[in-house]
Structure 1
Amino acid sequence: MSIADFSGRVRPDACPGALQVHEAADGPLARVRLPGGAVSAAQLRELAACATDLGSGVIELTSRANVQVRGLRSATAFAERMALVGLLPSPAHERVRNIVASPLSGRGPAGLLDTQPLVEALDRALCARPRLAGLPGRFLFALDDGSGDVVGLGADVTFAACAGGTARLLLAGSDAGLSVRGETAVSYMIAAAEAFLDERESASERDGEAQRDSTAWRIGDLEDGAARVAARLGGVAIDGPPSAQEVRRAGLTEQRDGRVALEAVVPLGRLTAAQARAIAAAAESVPAEPSVAVRLTPWRTVVFLDLSPADAGRVARLLDADGLVTDPASPWVGVTACTGRPGCAKSLADVQEDARRWVAGRSGPTEVPVHWAGCERRCGLPRGQVVQMVATADGYQERQQ
């Protein structure tokens, strides 16, 4: 079980943000939310500049398509600069803007709906409700375009597009028994978040067994949480969500409009400032207004949308030259790792360096994704079938999930 799966919370959520930083072993760490993984070239350049001027020089991608900067020398200056480029639209809500979405946003072969307008509408609605600033920093929304790529991420509230213009609303992985359309999706998702807070508040008024519920971070932390939240929405929680699709991608994907999307793996989810600037430059090099769309993904890759085949080839060469990976046959595909030493005081090993040496000895990707972890917490562990390389006092132990 990863740290993200623990229930029975006994302390307030301390998830970091751009204002509330985490005191890591290598200094303050700030996390910036990117709803739907959307980031502009200008924002990437400023993140790169902040990582260089104020931090360790590295930008980490998270499993929710957010970014974080480590070793900050001035958290206040960092937050001010993030606000200036539009990455901190609501100081009160900055830790709760956790929204993942299908990166191809309806463009892929199985996509049914452009989710980006819904991402933007949900973000605006979330920030417009003062009460929702009280959501825990781990509460997660997801918008799946019908391809099934984000339904398996374990979000608290998931909009899963279906054929015929309808969608299913999932609560902690359970079907809520409600038919949702694009025009009602945001209102239902906001109502689900408010219902979660209602359940927490009602639990805090009871004694005994309800104590766990009053400190819950996720719908799944509540006893029968999905059923209770669904009931407040007028639905009934049903087991059997849509099947999640395995995601281990790099390279080109044909869009339905004849253009292509290019996906690049960020080795171990760590971007140098130079790589972040290279992504920005590649986006700006494509003839588009103002630049080609870039999305970060929950599996720590970068996606360029709406490219011509010729532009895709040129962008791929630019990215490969800066150490990013666009070849789906690369041994980097499917390999992840936690921060490890020296950034994490709990880690028993420098897992980033150990994982790099392991990848260097391979000629191609593994059949099953591999995650390297520095301790039993296994931070950053992907969902689904994963080989786990867990550091112990006696070396690494290989485990299966």
Structure 2
Amino acid sequence: MNERLPVTAIRPSACPGLLRIVPALDGGICRIKLAGGVISADQARAVARAAARYAGGVIEATNRANLQIRGIGEQHAVLIGELLDAGLGPTTAAGDDVRNLMLSPSAGIDRQLLIDTRPLAEQILATLQTHARFHELSAKFAVQLDGGEALAMLEHPHDLWLSALLLGDQAYLAFGLAGCPANDLPLGAVPLAKGHALVVAVLELFLDLARPEQTRMRHLLAEVSTAEFLRQLAQRLGFEPAAVPSWQRSAAPGLLHIGTYPQRQPGRVYIGAVAPLGRLDASMLDGVARLASEFGDASLRLTPWQGLLLPNIRLEDAANVTAHLQHLGLLCDSADALAQLIACTGSAGCGKGLADTKADARTLALHLQGRPQGVHLSGCTRSCAAAHVAPATLLAVSPGHYDLYFRDATHPGFGRPHARNLTIEAAGVLLAARSRSNTDD
């Protein structure tokens, strides 16, 4: 996008965007929202250049399949300009905040998909950006669309989620509010052709019913019953959504975002890699972009597991590409303990962080080598690095000390408290011992 967008159109918010740089202890943060998580190799190189020239060179893969640059200094206007010139901006300045539509990283290429979600996603994203009413939505208000792929993040709560299913031989979209398909039954289903109309109707109804302080769907549904919302939704749609009371989205086993997997396209594979603790540097991102151009289709796909995919790699090139990714510092093996750890910015870059979670996570990984498991280290109760509840959570209480929680559906928040005020070394010993005696996640 060569035409510069008016920054004056950006509303105040604590959430960073491409046009809004938010300050942190380590400098400004710029968040680049990617349509469907996809970025071209040329655009990725532009991000790498901007991070190296105008910031500290730190690039983060987020849990919503976006990128953000940290440590931005005084030349933030030049950084924004270069990213806009690379085509990474919204179609309207006010539309930047609301480009919150998450797809499967393997949309269109997954062997198990029921529908290719990309055409509908393009339609939804265009409406989010150009429909002025939707610019009133919170920068955190989010929609998920999944096409039945084996590789899909099903645990992140969304204000509206849609998931493909077949009724007879016709494609439908099951949908739910203020939840996620892994944990919640759908409230109904609409034909695929009505998917865009459903999204528009849900969002307009939310804005009509919600008070200004009710920024998320869960806030509204605490006051307006789900039944009443659905009644009014059916009036707007002009039809009753189909009932699908016995259907629930099933998750594929394994960590399909790490490693090499066959695509629908014969002879092609995608290769998934994780950025260690969600962080890349400029040279890493530049290197991955060059691999995408040489061996793939000159595109990358970010994942909600704070990593990336290289799609459309020839099967015979997969081992070579994987070796190059590992040489760049990316993790391509789920057996690596660090590949299953999540950590927020922590006290090194965030004023709310009570511990240096990134450094502590690396220490923890040493204790868990050979016994990898999903652990989330959070510097405070906001849980910025993980939108879902991890199997185990270490919540910082002071530098180097954490409370430990295990996921438990009967306990809200992080789960069931297990131990208090542990050093990171003690937490490592406890978690390693638990992995030997407990196969639950």
Same-fold status (TM-score > 0.5):
yes
The reply to whether residue 112 of structure 1 matches residue 114 of structure 2 is: yes
Letter paired with 1:180: V
Cα offset, 1:75, TM superposition: 2.7
Alignment of 1:72-87 (within 5 A): 72-73=72-73, 74-87=75-88
Q: Alignment RMSD, CA only?
A: 2.3
User: 1:371: which partner in 2?
Assistant: 376
User: 1:50: which partner in 2?
Assistant: 50
* TM-aligned CA distance change 1:67 to 1:338, over 3 Å: same
TM (norm. structure 2) is 0.79
1:109/1:256 contact within 8 Å kept: yes
Letter paired with 1:348: L
1:166/1:180 contact within 8 Å kept: yes
Tell me the secondary structure at the aligned position of residue 153 of structure 1: coil
Tell me the secondary structure at the aligned position of residue 29 of structure 1: strand
Cα deviations by residue, 1:12-36 (Å, 9 ceiling, x for unpaired): 8532212222221122211111121
- Between stretches 131-140 and 146-155, larger displacement belongs to 146-155
Q: Distance in 1 between matches of 2:22 and 2:299?
A: 31
Letter paired with 1:159: L
* TM-aligned CA distance change 1:109 to 1:79, over 3 Å: same
* TM-aligned CA distance change 1:384 to 1:373, over 3 Å: closer
Cα deviations by residue, 1:341-361 (Å, 9 ceiling, x for unpaired): 221011121110111122134
User: 2:272: which partner in 1?
Assistant: 263
The reply to whether residue 356 of structure 1 matches residue 362 of structure 2 is: yes
* TM-aligned CA distance change 1:319 to 1:242, over 3 Å: same
Tell me the secondary structure at the aligned position of residue 332 of structure 1: helix
2:186/2:248 contact within 8 Å kept: no
Cα offset, 1:256, TM superposition: 3.0
Alignment of 1:62-77 (within 5 A): 62-73=62-73, 74-77=75-78
Tell me the secondary structure at the aligned position of residue 283 of structure 1: helix
Aligned residues: 374
Alignment of 1:298-313 (within 5 A): 298-313=304-319
Letter paired with 2:81: E
The reply to whether residue 150 of structure 1 matches residue 149 of structure 2 is: no
The reply to whether residue 321 of structure 1 matches residue 322 of structure 2 is: no
User: 1:125: which partner in 2?
Assistant: 127
Unaligned regions of 5+ residues in structure 1, if any?
Answer: 1-11, 204-213
- Between stretches 312-321 and 102-111, larger displacement belongs to 102-111
Cα offset, 1:225, TM superposition: 6.2
1:333/1:365 contact within 8 Å kept: no
Identity among equivalent pairs (%):
32
* TM-aligned CA distance change 1:390 to 1:240, over 3 Å: farther
Q: Distance in 2 between matches of 1:350 and 1:182?
A: 46
Letter paired with 2:323: R
Unaligned regions of 5+ residues in structure 2, if any?
Answer: 1-11, 235-239, 408-441
Alignment of 1:102-251 (within 5 A): 102-147=104-149, 149-163=152-166, 164=169, 165-173=171-179, 177-200=187-210, 203=211, 214-222=212-220, 223=222, 224=224, 226-234=226-234, 242-243=248-249, 245=251, 248=255, 249-251=257-259
Letter paired with 1:220: R
1:151/1:160 contact within 8 Å kept: no
Tell me the secondary structure at the aligned position of residue 272 of structure 2: strand
1:143/1:150 contact within 8 Å kept: no
Tell me the secondary structure at the aligned position of residue 310 of structure 1: helix
1:108/1:253 contact within 8 Å kept: no
Rg larger for:
2
2:101/2:143 contact within 8 Å kept: yes
Cα deviations by residue, 1:267-320 (Å, 9 ceiling, x for unpaired): 10011101100110010002x6xx344210111111122222112222111111
Q: Distance in 2 between matches of 1:144 and 1:262?
A: 20
The reply to whether residue 392 of structure 1 matches residue 397 of structure 2 is: yes
User: 1:283: which partner in 2?
Assistant: 292
* TM-aligned CA distance change 1:226 to 1:325, over 3 Å: farther
The reply to whether residue 335 of structure 1 matches residue 341 of structure 2 is: yes
1:18/1:78 contact within 8 Å kept: no
* TM-aligned CA distance change 1:310 to 1:159, over 3 Å: same
Cα deviations by residue, 1:93-135 (Å, 9 ceiling, x for unpaired): 1011011101111433431111222222211121121111111
- Between stretches 272-281 and 351-360, larger displacement belongs to 351-360
Tell me the secondary structure at the aligned position of residue 160 of structure 1: strand
* TM-aligned CA distance change 1:46 to 1:225, over 3 Å: farther
